[in-house]
Structure 1
Amino acid sequence: MKQPHFQLSQTSQTRLQGVHPDLINVVEQALRATKIDFMVGEGIRSFARQKELVQNKKSHTLKSRHLTGHAVDLWLLPNNKITWDAAAYCTLANTMKQAAEELNIPLQWGGVWDRKLSDLSDDMEKETELYRQRRAQQGKTAFFDGPHFQLPWSDYPQEQSA
């Protein structure tokens, strides 16, 4: 059976405006390889929007990589409808991991915040559980944000997008 070939919608292309070119390249590469269509839910965002997300407990920081174009939220679209299923986002993380590795671009995922995708196994559900355990050992809770992908601060320390 032939693999479907998805393309970025006009909405996704618009939402990628201002996003770092390396991250755009990974998103485009992943879209060519994915078995489940996805769209860009959010790219660069304003400080006011970030503040609102923190107040609503949908984000935990006012120093989000979205503010500088170093992060995207990708929304999976099985059957052309957005899903928030964690297992589906683990699959997307594998697709993004493969794309990032092919392009030699470091990437982090909101399912495992303390590691780069390249340092994780392909069993993302297990990796998220290990992350929860590490956080618990530190007396902290784990924040799962499956749609979120970002360029790491360590590799992209600049405050503004390129």
Structure 2
Amino acid sequence: MNTGIEKFDARSRRNLVGVHADLVRVVERASEITPVPFVVIEGVRTAARQAELVKAGASQTRNSRHLYGLAVDLAAIAGNEIRWDWPLYFKVSDAMQRAADEEGVPIIWGGSWRKFKDGPHFELPRNIYPDPNP
């Protein structure tokens, strides 16, 4: 769906550097079909950045899939600004799941987790895409 907003900007492309090619394909396809524009706010993270997020309470693990390029965080855009309203993330998730199905790539949405719901987070499953040995 074309909303007139540049959904896949230079920042998003930069933040996909080092992310697994399967996940990049899903994100790119989702950006074409989503009713809610989004930007990629984080792909690969350093261990230091992950430790900062754990300390701030924004993450609950030091062994994030972001460390290995197996996760991305997407931020919904509404009214030309990043928004954190949950209804927007359900729509982004629907686009990501549809794109994943089309690409034949399984994904996990952080918004479906039981304890620590993370609407912007999407990752490849560990059983199919294991963490490389650090």
Q: Provide TM-score, normalisation by structure 2.
A: 0.93
Task: Give SS of 1:75's match.
Answer: strand
Distance 2:25 2:79 in 1: 25
Maintained 8 Å contact 2:77/2:83: yes
- Amino acid corresponding to residue 156 of structure 1 in structure 2: Y
For 1:148, the equivalent position in structure 2 comes to 121
For 1:4, the equivalent position in structure 2 comes to 2
Unaligned runs of 5+ in 2: none
> Number of paired residues?
131
For 2:81, the equivalent position in structure 1 comes to 81
Unaligned runs of 5+ in 1: 114-130, 132-141
For 1:13, the equivalent position in structure 2 comes to 13
Distance 1:7 1:88 in 2: 14
Task: Give SS of 2:79's match.
Answer: helix
Q: Provide TM-score, normalisation by structure 1.
A: 0.77
Distance 1:88 1:37 in 2: 9
**TM-superposed deviation, 1:24:** 0.3
- Amino acid corresponding to residue 145 of structure 1 in structure 2: D
**TM-superposed deviation, 1:158:** 3.6
The share of aligned pairs that are identical, in percent, is 44
Runs of 4+ in 1 over 3 A off after TM superposition: none
**TM-superposed deviation, 1:7:** 4.4
Distance 2:65 2:131 in 1: 10
Q: Is 1:24–2:35 an aligned residue pair?
A: no
- Amino acid corresponding to residue 127 of structure 2 in structure 1: S
Q: CA RMSD in A?
A: 1.3
For 1:42, the equivalent position in structure 2 comes to 42
